[in-house]
Amino acid sequence: MQMKSMSKLSVVSCQLPVNAPASQPDNGQRTTNNSFAVAGLVLFLMTSCGGDPNSPGMEYMPDMYRSPAVEAYVDYGQDPYYFTEDSARVQRDRPSAKLPPAGTIAFASDPAKVAYNMPYPYPDTNEGYEAAGLGLKSPIAMTEATVEKGKVLYEKFCDHCHGAKGEGDGSVVNNGGFPPPGSYAGPLKDVPEGKIFHVITYGKGMMGSHASQVNKEERWLLVQYVKYLQNGGKMTRDGAVAATAVPPAAN
């Protein structure tokens, strides 16, 4: 029975040109060698199928799957394909998508935008909120064009809670039972621009931080649109147009 299956295998292998060069006589000895080689190969291949069902098995040429070049967002050393703890540790030590060291200031090629990359000096505390209200001023002059840009951002990020006119009647409030924020033209009428910026940055009460969604320049554009709504949808309001001077650390 065993002989039969082996000779079957050998027939297959003899059809392969590399195993049966035409110049060599196909004697019995050689056929047996081929049979063993093929049986060995089959056994070898089958060993990679057994064992732990959760194991991804052996990997042929791993550097084809895992590029030697460092790539962003690759969880080095965390994937299940590593072979030993040592090699995983080496991978984990690679510089990839790591956070920059604390205090790093991003480079801005446009000098007008350098101030946006400076660290935000007000902490996420009540004192920080009050201090921002007093000391933080907008670096962007309020013009119709910037208010228009702020409106586009407001419609994307704020409208669904605060409502199109800032009356606290957005769709999330109306449909989801979310507690309504105050109206910009009502209880929130006198919130100063520094506090508005601070609240977009850190959130307040039920409102979450929007710092990951809008950069600092976009936050100031949003502030302008909130001020526009605070003023009942009109441009002119004391302080709104005049707020152009920027203390360097104030944004």
The answer to whether the CB of 193 falls within 8 A of the CB of 223 is: yes
- Residue 177 identity: G
Q: Please tell me whether residue 38 binds ligand HEC under the rule CB under 6 A.
A: no
| Minimum CB–partner distance for residue 136 and ligand HEC (Å) | 12
- Cβ atoms of 235 and 146 closer than 8 Å: no
Contact yes or no for 153/218 (Cβ under 8 A):
yes
State yes or no: residue 210 binds ligand HEC (CB under 6 A). yes
Looking at 9-17, 34-42, 120-128, 199-207, which segment touches ligand HEC (CB under 6 A)? Answer: 199-207
Q: Give the shortest CB-172-to-ligand HEC separation in angstroms.
A: 6
Q: Which residue is nearest to ligand HEC (CB)?
A: 205
d(CA 189, CA 182): 9
**Can you give the C-alpha Rg of the chain in angstroms?**
34
Q: Does 206 bind ligand HEC (CB under 6 A)?
A: yes
Closest among 246, 247, 133, 125 to 192, alpha carbons compared: 133
Work out the number of other CB atoms within 10 angstroms of the CB of residue 44: 10
Per CB under 6 A, does 9 bind ligand HEC? no
Q: How far apart are CA 234 and CA 225, in angstroms?
A: 10
Contacts of 48 (CB under 8 A, 6+ apart): 57, 58
The contact pattern for ligand HEC, residues 91-130, with x = CB under 6 A and - = no contact, is: ----------------------------------------
Q: Which stretch binds ligand HEC (CB under 6 A): 36-44, 107-115, 141-149, 197-205?
A: 197-205
Under rule CB under 6 A, how many of the chain's residues touch ligand HEC? 20
Which residues are registered as beta bridge partners of 204?
A: 207
Q: Which of 181, 183, 193, 194 binds ligand HEC (CB under 6 A)?
A: 181
CA nearest neighbour of 188 among 174, 202, 199: 199
Q: Is 216 in the site for ligand HEC (CB under 6 A)?
A: no
According to DSSP, the residues that pair with 207 across neighbouring strands are 204
Among 66, 121, 157, 217, binds ligand HEC (CB under 6 A): 157
Listed ranges 39-47, 51-59, 104-112, 188-196: which one lies at the site for ligand HEC (CB under 6 A): 188-196
What tokens does 77 get?
């050393």
Tell me whether residue 25 or residue 179 sits nearer to ligand HEC (CB atom): 179
Binder among 196, 221, 229, 240 for ligand HEC (CB under 6 A): 196
Chain residues that interact with ligand HEC, rule: CB under 6 A: 157-158, 161-162, 172, 179, 181, 188, 191, 195-196, 199-200, 204-207, 210, 222, 226
